Structure 1
Amino acid sequence: MKRGFLMVALLAGLGLAGCSAFTSGDGASDDKVQITYARGTDTTGATDILVKEFEKEHPDIDVVVREMPSDSGQSHNQYVTMFSGRSPEVDVFDADIVWSAEFGQANYVLPLDRLIERDQINMDAYFPATVEAGRYNGRQYAMPGYADAGLLYYRTDITDQVPKTWDELEQLAQENMGKEGAEFGYLMQAAQYEGIVTNAIEYIYSYGGQVLDANGNVVINSPEAIEGLNKMIDIANSNFVPNNVLNFKEIDTESSFNEGNAVYARNWPYMNDTANDENVSKVAGNVGIATIPAGTAGNASALGGWMRMINRYSDEVEASWTFVKWMSGEKGQKISALEGGKAPTIEALYDDKEITDVSAVLASEDFYNSLQNAIPRPITPIYPEISDIMQIEISRALAGEITAEEAVKRMETKMQAALESVNQ
């Protein structure tokens, strides 16, 4: 059972419902508060270590871990069911970075601004995009957890040349394809699913385009976005990518690259592990990583990863915040990095040799730079609808059914209609 004493002063100062008091780790109270932390499947054991260390420092708080489905879509739907019914059964949960606006607008999660201000949390210590992803309509609904960002992989046994721009990628992919059994110059994700959105963002933003502006207005119909999308179309239709690249997802990129079929490939950091595993990869030991190539406006890597949120209907808000604050701080993130291989969102942790020794990715200056240049996907309460619109129209453009100009115009019209329907 969850227990505690009502903190009238905190309620008055913060306007939070359902807060419970508890003593700090050096307090004398025998009462314990219990909170439930929900997260996806963890095969590393890092969560158990994280919780054990937290409870050691905060003996007045017990954390019960609830495992959610590994599929983020299934987890999302279960959370929506819970929170729409105002259920307090989960206090803290890991959230995909694209959920913040949806859950914030729906009043499912607690805004954290006053708690952040009260406890003087330095949000500037985090990579900017990881903070931005948890912010909507002027409020911070999530604390950064761990991050992903798109990376460029390349075969070091074929070339030591790293393309700095998309134009250079086209040139080097063409020049090096066919060497050392690499049939293709480049691999990407171009199937009609979420991956086509993350790839498109990297092209569009690297040429100075945007999808939505800071106020949530649709701005995708711009010369910059058209230029970026045209570059994506050029590469997807080149002779140095597979003929079936429009069916490629992350797993297809990974398996093909690990078979030695390509010189360059775009994928997430996780691929570095399998690409360098001699049991599954023919190119192990010959893999380099770099930032995504730049367009005329610079580099842009799509941001991935997870955040920490608090259920607005939690009965133990103060204890939940203590846990979220600790997990998102240096101690919690270091444990997640050392035990689970998770990329920290606190910039200073990349100066910690214990962390950078965990993997080549965490030690990579290019990965650090990718997080500095990371771009969140459109922050909107109707992100699934926006994503679907992008998937359909970009897929049609890559297939040659419509031009880049027609694609951005169609996306603009559909996105504006979708946003207007929600705001009515």
Structure 2
Amino acid sequence: MRWMRAAGRALLVAAVVLAGYAGFGVRADTGVAAGGRGPLTLVTAGDLTDYLSPLLDDWNQGHPGEHVTLVELPDSADETRAQMISELRSGRDRFDVLNIDVAWTSEFAAAGWISPLERDRFPLDTFLRPVVDTATFDGRLYAVPYVTNAGLLYYRKDVLDREGEQPPRTWAELVRQARTIAPKYGLDGYAGQFLPYEGLTVNVTEAVHSAGGSILQGDGTRVSVDSGAARAGLRFLADGVRDGWISRDALGYKEEESRRAFQDGRLLFLRNWPYVYADASAEGSKVAGRFGAVPLPGPDGPGTSVLGGSNLAVSSTSRHPASAADLISYLTSERVQRQVLAEGSLPPVRAALYEDPELIRAYPYLPTLRQSVLSAVPRPKSPRYDQVTLAVQAVAQDLMAQRQTPDQAVARLARELGTISRKG
């Protein structure tokens, strides 16, 4: 579960299981009974922060007939997803609302495990625009964004200041500084999350989109990775390892390993999620007060981040859709979203909070994060996302280990994704 926690702890609640959501929010053509109200069960992945319980206490005090019980799943993304899917496939009604990683929305919707929602039921126009796209599939809304995320480039401000340099805006500037400045200070140049797991899919997708390419288009029906832009994105990563400004240690990094490397003063540059800002600023951090954060660079200017975060979706077997809709509205209200940020360190989906002077004073990275979110893209949408991400990880692992060239990697990935997209 570490990669999802680290992605802004975005899958903090990996699944919200509620017994409730009646009449509004779920479409009448889904077969879900209207008017259902009752107690709620909220199921979550492990490794929670402490902010959620007070929010649920507030809900429970105001809704005695719709009490929410919290259930935690294992501290593992794969285990969380596997247990959720096992329950959903069984047809049991234990899960009523799922707080799912944004990359799972298409898969869960295509499988019929979550119900489409009425757009007018939720104030989507008050959310950051790109996050709403992560909650849709086949032109319909299947979830409501709960928390969001986008990658940032962390840099050693003290080191760049000493060299009279600004943080990089382009790949060329990043490569030059990582190759020439980092060694002078005994630092590794650059790291992301390059272990074969979901974080590697994120880093690869960001490189491909920053170069102007894509991996899949539409809802996963068309493979688009076979392009010069995709080759350029993969070449950026492969050359980093070959030329040494991405250390081979980074090939074993997930979010937490890369955070510790930066926080312990071993990295000049780090791609990671916003949660790193608070951790690296905390007492005991070797870089506290000595770093900054900017949008990810690209070939010719600011690059493209992948959207992280989680969405709230109603299980198609929910008996209480009205209560579920009300809880979703509660958790995505501006007041609660403020608490999600202030007490949970999770990036909210409400756009107005990113321009709040009080919050910006407390979280100086908010304007940068807003810029990154607004230019971010979802991971490849596909009803078979589990197979897509495994294919991306396997190809990228061989690429960065120098076992395949960028041309070979793109050709292989195009073939494998084509096979996946043609499966019934």
Q: Would you say same fold, with TM above 0.5?
A: yes
Match status 1:127 vs 2:131? no
For 1:140, the equivalent position in structure 2 comes to 141
For 2:172, the equivalent position in structure 1 comes to 167
Amino acid at match of 2:46: T
Match status 1:262 vs 2:277? no
For 1:396, the equivalent position in structure 2 comes to 398
For 1:40, the equivalent position in structure 2 comes to 45
- What's the CA shift for 1:103? 0.8
Match status 1:201 vs 2:205? yes
> 1-side partners of 2:87 and 2:315: how far apart?
10
CA gap 1:290/1:133 in 2 versus in 1, 3 angstroms: same
CA gap 1:308/1:183 in 2 versus in 1, 3 angstroms: same
For 2:9, the equivalent position in structure 1 comes to none
Amino acid at match of 2:57: K
Of 171, 182, 187, the match for 1:183: 187
For 2:32, the equivalent position in structure 1 comes to 17
Q: Is the 8 A contact 2:107 2:385 kept in 1?
A: yes
Structure 1 residue runs of 5 or longer lacking an equivalent are 23-32
Match status 1:327 vs 2:331? yes
> 2-side partners of 1:12 and 1:96: how far apart?
22
Of 289, 292, 301, the match for 2:293: 289
Deviations for 1:386-417, whole angstroms, at most 9, x for unmatched residues?
A: 11111111222222222211111111111111
User: Equivalences for 1:349-360 in 2 at 5 Å?
Assistant: 349-360=353-364
CA gap 1:55/1:187 in 2 versus in 1, 3 angstroms: same
Range 307-316 or range 41-50, more displaced? 41-50
Aligned residues: 402
- What's the CA shift for 1:380? 0.8
- What's the CA shift for 1:286? 0.6
For the aligned residues, what is the CA RMSD? 2.5
> 1-side partners of 2:81 and 2:201: how far apart?
19
> 2-side partners of 1:365 and 1:184: how far apart?
28
Amino acid at match of 2:140: R
CA gap 1:36/1:420 in 2 versus in 1, 3 angstroms: same
Question: SS of the counterpart of 1:157?
Answer: helix
Of 85, 93, 100, the match for 2:98: 93
For 1:380, the equivalent position in structure 2 comes to 382
For 1:26, the equivalent position in structure 2 comes to none
Amino acid at match of 2:374: Q
CA gap 1:329/1:6 in 2 versus in 1, 3 angstroms: closer
Match status 1:222 vs 2:224? no
CA gap 1:367/1:4 in 2 versus in 1, 3 angstroms: closer
Question: SS of the counterpart of 1:375?
Answer: coil
Q: Is the 8 A contact 2:275 2:345 kept in 1?
A: no
Question: SS of the counterpart of 2:306?
Answer: strand
- What's the CA shift for 1:199? 1.0
- What's the CA shift for 1:302? 1.7
CA gap 1:396/1:319 in 2 versus in 1, 3 angstroms: same
Match status 1:192 vs 2:230? no
CA gap 1:198/1:10 in 2 versus in 1, 3 angstroms: closer
Give the TM-score taking structure 1 as reference length: 0.88
Q: Is the 8 A contact 1:187 1:265 kept in 2?
A: yes
> 1-side partners of 2:370 and 2:106: how far apart?
26
Amino acid at match of 1:148: N
> 1-side partners of 2:415 and 2:256: how far apart?
33
For 1:241, the equivalent position in structure 2 comes to 246
Question: SS of the counterpart of 1:186?
Answer: strand
Q: Is the 8 A contact 1:93 1:309 kept in 2?
A: yes
Q: Is the 8 A contact 1:190 1:236 kept in 2?
A: no
- What's the CA shift for 1:358? 4.2
Deviations for 1:178-199, whole angstroms, at most 9, x for unmatched residues?
A: 34x4422222222222222111
For 1:25, the equivalent position in structure 2 comes to none
Deviations for 1:248-291, whole angstroms, at most 9, x for unmatched residues?
A: 33233222222212211111222222322232x22222111111
Range 395-404 or range 48-57, more displaced? 48-57
CA gap 1:81/1:157 in 2 versus in 1, 3 angstroms: same
For 1:304, the equivalent position in structure 2 comes to 308
Amino acid at match of 1:104: A
For 1:250, the equivalent position in structure 2 comes to 255
Range 270-279 or range 98-107, more displaced? 270-279
Q: Is the 8 A contact 1:206 1:297 kept in 2?
A: no
Of 54, 61, 65, the match for 2:66: 61
> 2-side partners of 1:165 and 1:69: how far apart?
40
Of 205, 210, 216, the match for 1:212: 216
> 1-side partners of 2:413 and 2:218: how far apart?
18
Overall identity of the aligned pairs, in %: 27
Of 389, 404, 415, the match for 2:417: 415
Considering Cα pairs closer than 8 Å and 6+ residues apart, tell me whether 1 or 2 has the greater RCO. 2
Q: Is the 8 A contact 2:169 2:302 kept in 1?
A: no
For 2:5, the equivalent position in structure 1 comes to none
Q: Is the 8 A contact 1:97 1:134 kept in 2?
A: yes
Range 103-112 or range 297-306, more displaced? 297-306
Question: SS of the counterpart of 1:326?
Answer: helix
- What's the CA shift for 1:295? 2.4
Structure 2 residue runs of 5 or longer lacking an equivalent are 1-17
Q: Is the 8 A contact 1:182 1:260 kept in 2?
A: no
Of 335, 342, 358, the match for 1:338: 342
> 2-side partners of 1:377 and 1:4: how far apart?
30
Give the TM-score taking structure 2 as reference length: 0.88
